[in-house]
Amino acid sequence: MVLAAVGATAAAGDGSDQREVSQEQYDTLIAQCRYADTGPARCRAEVRRTYRVGNEDTELDCRAYAGVAVCGELKLSKAERRCVRESTEQGLSLRRAEVECYTRS
């Protein structure tokens, strides 16, 4: 599982095409890579290509449940999507179900 690359990539290599986020948001994006199915190193590289520290991005969806914070769109595996569907059918909110299913897999 990799964070969705919301925003452009740093094609020019100078970071000008990266999405600007606060230090706290950036730290959260990096920290949530420990749960990525594609591996933490690949996920962190994706974060570094996609984001740079600057001003807070008020459009970036950040949330925390059960002591776990995440930002951005979570790319969920088939099993995680099934977990989300089952959890929401049992009354859990979609946003919370995404975080819990993402971090439990």
pLDDT of residue 1: 39
1, part of any domain: no
Q: For the chain, give me the number of helices (H) and strands (E)?
A: 4, 4
pLDDT of residue 14: 55
3, part of any domain: no
In this prediction the pTM is: 0.79
pLDDT of residue 12 exceeding 50: no
Count of domains forming the chain? 1
- Print the domain residue range for 26: 19-103
41, part of any domain: yes
Question: Could you report how far apart the first and last alpha carbons of the chain are, in Å?
Answer: 10
Q: Give the whole-angstrom CA distance, residue 9 versus residue 21.
A: 14
Q: Give the whole-angstrom CA distance, residue 105 versus residue 93.
A: 18
Residues near 38 by beta carbon (within 8 Å), at least 6 away in sequence: 1, 2
13, part of any domain: no
Greater pLDDT, 13 or 101: 101
pLDDT of residue 23: 98
64, part of any domain: yes
pLDDT digits (tens, 9 = 90+) for 84-99: 999 999 999 999 999 9
pLDDT of residue 60 exceeding 60: yes
